């Protein structure tokens, strides 16, 4: 993507582990690379179609006044703030330097460099206990109102037959696609917390549940560890996942099978 670069914005702030750092304050240097599409702004010579770097600088200065012990924490705060408050920015590379770092040795500066961006995630939803629509709507509300998520789109809901353990009521299923600043594992934690808020119990494998939220895709990443598998290992064979998701992102490519959601759905039969 195109870039707007801010180098060594000088800010006086009160970050530090030592008490005197938080009382007396010191100089910090903030550098940021903003990734966005500047084509329209360049072709039309229109400030409204790009990011006003003067506003970004003022924003960074203001946000630096919130004190942190660690410059790592301050950097996270700044990066997330830029991404949330300047919607055209898709990614930010940020460096926070501390020229007067108390290391008791000659050093030009100590700095932290991080890169943060928005990520696309696809989530499958299901419920077959209690107020099923209410449970799904509640999950949508939780994620839509989370400051770490944006652009939440929701499919229509459909009723499907249970798979695996069939001695249970039909499910109400849907899908969400959103952008998020959460890492995959942080998003998994958020989904599980949302399930627990609707009194989800894991008593029978594939059994009845008030709310089931599965992370299906996260960008085009492939993840496999003891807590999380992405793409979801069963998604490619599940009508109740693919049908709602096809309403939102029929061309999303499965990063392992190299087939789109629409292609996977075409070869998947609806349970009867």
Q: Map out the domains of the chain as residue ranges.
A: 2-117, 119-266
Assigned token pair, 227: 């807590």
pLDDT digits (tens, 9 = 90+) for 87-100: 999 999 999 999 99
Asked if the peptide bond before residue 231 counts as cis, ω within 30 degrees of 0, the response is: yes
pLDDT for 124 equals: 97
Closest CA to 16 of 81, 83, 56, 67: 67
pLDDT for 233 equals: 92
Residue 220 to residue 58: CA distance in whole angstroms? 35
Residue 91 to residue 80: CA distance in whole angstroms? 10
Q: Give Cα 69 to chain centroid, integer Å.
A: 25
Which top CATH class is 2-117?
alpha beta
Assigned token pair, 268: 């998947």
CATH topology agreement for domains 2-117 and 119-266: no
User: E strand or H helix at 218, and its extent?
Assistant: strand 212-218
* Average pLDDT value over all residues in the chain: 93
| DSSP state for residue 156 in the 8-state scheme | P
The terminus-to-terminus CA distance of the chain in angstroms comes to 47
Q: Please give the CATH number for the structural domain made up of 119-266.
A: 3.30.70.560
Q: Which residues pair with 225 in a beta bridge?
A: none
Stretches where the chain sits below pLDDT 50 are none
pLDDT digits (tens, 9 = 90+) for 120-147: 999 999 999 889 999 999 999 999 999 9
pLDDT for 270 equals: 76
Q: Taking every pair of C-alpha atoms in the chain, what is the biggest distance, in angstroms?
A: 73
Asked if the peptide bond before residue 238 counts as cis, ω within 30 degrees of 0, the response is: no
pLDDT for 203 equals: 60
Any idea which residues carry the catalytic annotation? 98
pLDDT for 163 equals: 79
pLDDT for 208 equals: 79
Q: For the beta carbon of residue 94, count every other beta carbon within 10 angstroms.
A: 23
């Amino acid at each position: 993507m195109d870039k707007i670069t801010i180098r060594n914005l000088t800010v006086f702030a009160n970050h530090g582990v030592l008490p005197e750092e938080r009382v007396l304050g010191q100089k910090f240097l903030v550098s940021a690379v903003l990734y966005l599409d500047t084509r329209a702004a360049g072709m039309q010579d229109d400030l409204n179609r790009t990011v006003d770097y003067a506003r970004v600088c003022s924003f960074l200065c203001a946000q630096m006044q919130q004190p942190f012990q660690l410059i790592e924490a301050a950097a996270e705060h700044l990066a997330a703030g830029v991404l949330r408050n300047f919607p055209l920015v898709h990614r930010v590379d940020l460096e926070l330097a501390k020229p007067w770092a108390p290391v008791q040795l000659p050093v030009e500066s100590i700095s932290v460099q991080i890169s943060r961006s928005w990520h696309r995630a696809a989530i499958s939803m299901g419920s077959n206990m209690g107020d099923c629509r209410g449970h799904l709507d509640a999950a949508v509300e939780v994620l839509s109102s989370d400051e770490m998520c944006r652009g939440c789109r929701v499919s229509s809901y459909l009723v499907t037959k249970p798979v695996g353990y069939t001695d249970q009521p039909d499910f109400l299923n849907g899908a969400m696609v959103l952008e998020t600043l959460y890492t995959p594992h942080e998003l998994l934690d958020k989904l599980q917390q949302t399930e627990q808020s609707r009194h989800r119990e894991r008593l029978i494998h594939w059994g009845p549940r008030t709310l089931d939220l599965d992370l299906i895709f996260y960008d085009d990443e492939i993840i496999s560890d003891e807590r999380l598998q992405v793409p979801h290992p069963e998604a490619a064979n599940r009508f109740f996942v693919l049908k709602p998701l096809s309403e939102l992102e029929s061309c999303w490519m499965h990063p392992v099978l190299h087939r789109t959601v629409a292609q996977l759905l075409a070869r998947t039969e609806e349970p009867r």
